[in-house]
Amino acid sequence: MDKRARVTLPTEENFFEETKELMARWGADAIRDSDGTELEKNIMQLPAKVYKTYFVARGHNEFIKGHLEERQQVYLMSKRCVATGDYTLEIDLMDGYYREQLEPDYTHDPKRWWEVINRTTGEVVPAEQWQVKRSEGVVVIDHIQPFHEYTVSFLAYIKWDPTHMYNHITNDWGDIPHDIPFDVHQPNSRQFMQDYLRQWLADNPETDVVRFTTFFYHFTLIFNDLAKEKFVDWFGYGATVSVKALEAFEEAKGYALRPEDLVDNGYYNTAFRVPSAAYLDYIDYISEFVCEEARQLVEIVHEHDKEAMMFLGDNWIGTEPYGKYFERIGMDAVVGSVGDGATLRMISDIPHIKYSEGRFLPYFFPDTFYEGNNPVVEANERWIAARRAQLRSPLDRMGYGGYPSLAYKFPEFVDYIEEVTDEFRDIVDKIDGSQPEVKLTVGIMSAWGSLRTWQHFMVAHALWYKQIYSYLGILESLSGMAVDVKFVSFDEVVSGECLAELDVLINAGDEMTAFSGGEQWAKPELQTAIRRFVHRGGGFVGVGDPSAYQQNGRHFQLADVLGVDKEVGFSLSTNAPENAPVASHFITDGLGELDFGEGKANIYPTNRETTILVGSEHGEVSLSTATYGRGRSVYLAGLPYSIANTRLLLKVLLYAAGKEADYEIWHASNPNVEVNVYPEKGLYAIVNNTTVAQETEIFDGEGQVETITLAPSELRWEELS
């Protein structure tokens, strides 16, 4: 094993000797700058590749101040205002928004580009019935309907890049000028981006890898009048809009968008909304455009014999690494932040790149590296969480961020990261691109399909929300499980294409969301495709509100398949069967108390044959299973991530697939331990996912059993016999 490989080290000034030492101990073969650090001056002396952060669409006020009409834009919805008078209503456009970040665009004709909507009826107010009072920043609506609510959807300029703003405010940067974002859709900006990149490449000969952070459009991040976050959507296309983009869209797609196509009742098309056809078209248009523009920048980088790497975050909108245009960019590498297994897979599974890199946690920042704290604890937990996924689909490289001088003050941490980097390299080299053995193939449905691979249920990157954690556990569990995971759209399920290769189909999420499916379930074709699939032997796993859409006497449209439905009050007169929970079942045996997170109330069996595994005193169901033709279904009220729930999900999937017999093949009896098999390499790996020693029986491919004890966090490789 080459010790000096696969690791990127952040560096800083006046830290040269220590950098060399850390590079040697951690085997770093690349160094990078990062926000708030500068590269060491003697950089060229180091035996390493050099990454340098590059901002495409901001950091050049000297340019954009001469072209303020090329600032980035966004559609904003004003506050909802109720008309309490009889005649007119005045709406203050910027009420509730941060005036340092945003300002209305009065340049482009409001009558053409804005929309006043009666939110009580949903109707657009004719443009003759309102006027803009620019001096006061208000819109005055005439002929109002008393006690209806109105909003104005208006185009605004973004005066301050939100990440720059966030750092500025958080770090109290005082009178440092605000980075104004400029828009690649505009001629001067586009030219500047290319010219400046060429200049920069010439000026930075020591740079081997241009680390784009990222390209053109930041995910939607809007601040309120108190300079606090008001709206955040890591997937949001809000800041991609402009009159130019809207005109180009019309040209490309043959129809014009309305402001409401982007404002979406103030929900702004978050990933939880079942996307409209228009919004999908818009994503398609923008991502094709972004990928082409990015391609041109990458080409310039390549012309200079450097590599192009993109950061998965910040201005990543439109790149869509799992979309159909990403390949065109010709990107060499993607780097992203790894908090757990699912975020690792989100990066490591990206196609059409030469290599992927994870930035691991913790950051070398004072919030972790302070006297009295042991940063090894977090580093260990994060590594264990991510390692499960690394064993299934490895990142090619890893790295850290922050101030290495801080980390250097914690010798135990330096020791521990030496172990981690060694182990990381060892995993990548041992697996060596081979396919680990899978027990089954699982499809997860959503309205987004593969475009949101490993990105379901996410609001802001890796942040906890009460409404998502009970579903995110599915992805996190799967990220390190011996299963093949496909992200499929409802349309693909309807067409039936994807079902042939699946053992089990998962439908998870809160009702009416893009993940549960909402109005998708009104389609008979979707229902029948899944019924046929299950009836002929497939497995169906529903979590939360699977197939929820109230119509035709069912809340869960696949209640017949699931054997349960949600009681919404309409069938209280119908006595639900009182199926007693079974005492023992393959799925639950040996798992102890289960945690369904937020869970779901009012789920009841629809017939006497439904097998209840976990139910409440009043007959509500948290975990159940049903037989449907030759197939099976499982209902789960929720699946927050835990080691126990990972084992639960594995058993659920195997049971749904009718493959219980495979459970004890390449299996650890102790749920804290997992086994991964690499047939092409003649190896298998036994991994202890906890920080304490674990004893476990290990079942091999023939069901032979051996009892072993693993050290805390141990990863043990064995040869296949």
Query: Could you list the active site residues?
Result: 314
Which of 466, 500, 702, 719 contacts a copy of itself by CB under 8 A?
466
The encoded tokens of residue 299 equal 């080409």
- The answer to whether residue 511 forms part of the interface with a copy of itself (CB under 8 A) is yes
Q: If we measure between CA atoms, which residue out of 346, 362, 271 comes closest to residue 311?
A: 346
- The answer to whether residue 592 forms part of the interface with a copy of itself (CB under 8 A) is no
Do residues 153 and 260 lie in contact, with contact meaning Cβ atoms separated by under 8 Å?
yes
Q: 336 has which bridge partners? A: 358
Which of 12, 510, 674, 700 contacts a copy of itself by CB under 8 A?
510
Do residues 72 and 242 lie in contact, with contact meaning Cβ atoms separated by under 8 Å?
yes
Concatenate the DSSP letters of all residues of 316-351 into one string.
Answer: BBTT-TTSSSHHHH---EEEEEESSHHHHHHHHT--
- The answer to whether residue 601 forms part of the interface with a copy of itself (CB under 8 A) is yes
Distance CA 51, CA 211 (A): 6
59 vs 96, which CB is nearer to a copy of itself? 96
49 vs 80, which CB is nearer to a copy of itself? 80
Distance CA 136, CA 165 (A): 26
Q: Segment contacting a copy of itself (CB under 8 A): 115-123, 288-296, 432-440, 645-653?
A: 115-123
- The answer to whether residue 496 forms part of the interface with a copy of itself (CB under 8 A) is no
- The answer to whether residue 135 forms part of the interface with a copy of itself (CB under 8 A) is no
- The answer to whether residue 146 forms part of the interface with a copy of itself (CB under 8 A) is yes
Which of 113, 157, 231, 454 contacts a copy of itself by CB under 8 A?
231
Distance CA 302, CA 210 (A): 10
Q: If we measure between CA atoms, which residue out of 645, 611, 465 comes closest to residue 653?
A: 645
Q: Segment contacting a copy of itself (CB under 8 A): 200-208, 459-467, 489-497, 498-506?
A: 459-467
Give the Cβ contact number of residue 314 at 10 Å. Answer: 23
Which of 73, 163, 270, 611 contacts a copy of itself by CB under 8 A?
270
Q: If we measure between CA atoms, which residue out of 607, 458, 485 comes closest to residue 541?
A: 485
Task: Give the position of tokens 């930035």.
Answer: 359
Assign 236 to helix, strand or coil.
coil
Assign 425 to helix, strand or coil.
helix
373 vs 550, which CB is nearer to a copy of itself? 550
106 vs 469, which CB is nearer to a copy of itself? 469
The encoded tokens of residue 71 equal 């600032």
Q: How far is CA 638 from CA 246, 367, 484, 542, 599, in A?
A: 41, 33, 21, 9, 5
Q: Segment contacting a copy of itself (CB under 8 A): 225-233, 394-402, 440-448, 637-645?
A: 225-233
Do residues 346 and 453 lie in contact, with contact meaning Cβ atoms separated by under 8 Å?
yes
Give the Cβ contact number of residue 453 at 10 Å. Answer: 21
Distance CA 20, CA 15 (A): 9
Q: What is the bridge-based pairing of β-strands 705-710 and 673-678?
A: unpaired
226 vs 583, which CB is nearer to a copy of itself? 226
Residues with Cβ within 8 Å of 573's Cβ and at least 6 positions away in sequence, in order, are none
Which of 574, 584, 704, 721 contacts a copy of itself by CB under 8 A?
574
Which of 109, 143, 147, 351 contacts a copy of itself by CB under 8 A?
147
CB of 440 to a copy of itself, least distance (A): 23
Provide the residue type at 431 as one letter.
I
Measured between its terminal Cα atoms, the distance across the chain in Å is 23
171 vs 467, which CB is nearer to a copy of itself? 467
311 vs 549, which CB is nearer to a copy of itself? 549
- The answer to whether residue 170 forms part of the interface with a copy of itself (CB under 8 A) is no
Which of 53, 131, 145, 167 contacts a copy of itself by CB under 8 A?
145
Distance CA 349, CA 394 (A): 8
CB of 575 to a copy of itself, least distance (A): 6
The encoded tokens of residue 140 equal 């005055």
CB of 208 to a copy of itself, least distance (A): 37
Q: Judged by CB under 8 A, how many residues of this single chain contact a copy of itself?
A: 66
- The answer to whether residue 462 forms part of the interface with a copy of itself (CB under 8 A) is no
Q: If we measure between CA atoms, which residue out of 257, 255, 285, 283 comes closest to residue 269?
A: 283
348 vs 606, which CB is nearer to a copy of itself? 606
- The answer to whether residue 627 forms part of the interface with a copy of itself (CB under 8 A) is no
Which phi and psi angles does 422 have, rounded to 5°?
Answer: -60, -45
CB of 578 to a copy of itself, least distance (A): 9
CB of 516 to a copy of itself, least distance (A): 9
Give the Cβ contact number of residue 206 at 10 Å. Answer: 9
Q: Segment contacting a copy of itself (CB under 8 A): 393-401, 548-556, 580-588, 665-673?
A: 548-556
Q: Segment contacting a copy of itself (CB under 8 A): 57-65, 189-197, 299-307, 547-555?
A: 547-555
Q: What is the bridge-based pairing of β-strands 694-699 and 683-688?
A: unpaired
Cα R_g (the chain), whole angstroms: 27
Which of 121, 199, 495, 691 contacts a copy of itself by CB under 8 A?
121
Which of 80, 302, 659, 681 contacts a copy of itself by CB under 8 A?
80
The encoded tokens of residue 646 equal 């990972």
Which of 69, 92, 149, 714 contacts a copy of itself by CB under 8 A?
149
Which of 135, 573, 584, 704 contacts a copy of itself by CB under 8 A?
573
For the chain, the farthest-separated pair of C-alpha atoms sits apart, in whole angstroms, at 85
Which of 535, 659, 681, 716 contacts a copy of itself by CB under 8 A?
535
383 vs 596, which CB is nearer to a copy of itself? 596
Q: Segment contacting a copy of itself (CB under 8 A): 286-294, 374-382, 388-396, 570-578?
A: 570-578
The secondary structure of residue 577, as a DSSP letter, is: P
Q: What length is written for the chain?
A: 721
Kindly identify the residues of this chain, within the stretch 186-205, that bind a copy of itself according to CB under 8 A: none
CB of 598 to a copy of itself, least distance (A): 7
Residue 386's H or E segment, with its range, is helix 375-390
Assign 303 to helix, strand or coil.
helix
Kindly identify the residues of this chain, within the stretch 420-449, that bind a copy of itself according to CB under 8 A: none
Q: 133 has which bridge partners? A: 138
Assign 75 to helix, strand or coil.
strand
- The answer to whether residue 227 forms part of the interface with a copy of itself (CB under 8 A) is no
CB of 443 to a copy of itself, least distance (A): 18
Residue 233's H or E segment, with its range, is strand 229-233
22 vs 508, which CB is nearer to a copy of itself? 508
CB of 124 to a copy of itself, least distance (A): 12
- The answer to whether residue 256 forms part of the interface with a copy of itself (CB under 8 A) is no
CB of 129 to a copy of itself, least distance (A): 17
- The answer to whether residue 569 forms part of the interface with a copy of itself (CB under 8 A) is yes
Contact positions vs a copy of itself (CB under 8 A): 80, 82, 84, 119-122, 145-149, 220, 224, 228-233, 236, 265-268, 270, 272-273, 459-460, 465-468, 509-513, 524, 527-528, 531-532, 535, 550-554, 560, 567-575, 598, 601-602, 618, 620, 629
